[in-house]
Structure 1
């Protein structure tokens, strides 16, 4: 955790050892952050890069292969927007989930587009993906049915 004080304080968040934070602790931290605070994190490019790398790095460990079965899919994530858009790809195949940073030449089965605050709320279990889609905070291109079922393939903490 942060060296001192409340981890929801942005100064302390910058010092946080994300690798030592459980998914449940991360969900609690995100739950305590306002959209404005998350947008401040997004403007701090080194901190944003650390947070995104940690979240996407955990996807493989939180993947539930028994639920995915024979699913084969490439999911492209576009987080943020404009000059600061981060792109990651999640490939589910043969009972594994691999994540790469950047856009490949492969055609994704689904692309998810959302802002930084919405992304962190979604992956930490602090937002409902259906509500996000209906309020246009989450845009989906491609296989909407796959997108709707993505949460069941991952062990997403509840804060």
Structure 2
């Protein structure tokens, strides 16, 4: 995948990249390139784009009548643990998924913590939640059953 390794990620307009193409890009990039991307100025734009698309990828029939708040903590933007982490919340209720781009005072049923490259792999279908969990790249706090079924609530493109 030399072409992807040469891709100018700083200039890429992630808002114009379709989900399947995004999955292909994530799959083809070496871990160091993903880490560099998510440590640079594009980080927040990429995260905002991914979370901004969640409501369109949401499958209400899969979630059923579930009402759940999920807090996502994406680590790795600062030099100290917890320094500069990005926090988003997704609320699944009444057949819809809404996203908040910050931590709220609400108590989540599930909190997920992972580094940015692992997050990108997970949401692009290039990593499995259970595998990330069992290799300690994903920390789960709260409703483990919700965590296990979360990927079924979204139409996750595959590369």
Q: TM-score, normalised by structure 1?
A: 0.91
Q: What is the 5 A alignment of 1:142-157?
A: 142-157=142-157
| Aligned mates of 1:111, 1:50 — CA distance in 2 | 22
Cα deviation, residue 122, structure 1: 0.3
Between Structure 1 and Structure 2, how many residues are aligned?
153
Runs of 4+ in 1 over 6 A off after TM superposition: none
Gaps of 5+ in 2: 77-81
Q: 8 Å contact 1:7–1:13 — kept in the other structure? A: no
Q: 1:122 maps to which residue?
A: 122
**Between structures 1 and 2, the one with greater helix share:** 1
Gaps of 5+ in 1: none
| Aligned mates of 1:35, 1:80 — CA distance in 2 | 15
Q: 8 Å contact 1:8–1:29 — kept in the other structure? A: no
Q: Which moved more, 1:15-24 or 1:99-108?
A: 15-24
Cα deviation, residue 84, structure 1: 2.6
Q: TM-score, normalised by structure 2?
A: 0.91
1:9 lines up with 2:3 in the alignment = no
Q: 1:80 maps to which residue?
A: 75
Q: 2:50 maps to which residue?
A: 55
| Aligned mates of 1:35, 1:138 — CA distance in 2 | 16
Higher relative contact order (CA 8 A, sep 6+): 2
| Aligned mates of 1:102, 1:47 — CA distance in 2 | 18
| Aligned mates of 1:158, 1:138 — CA distance in 2 | 20
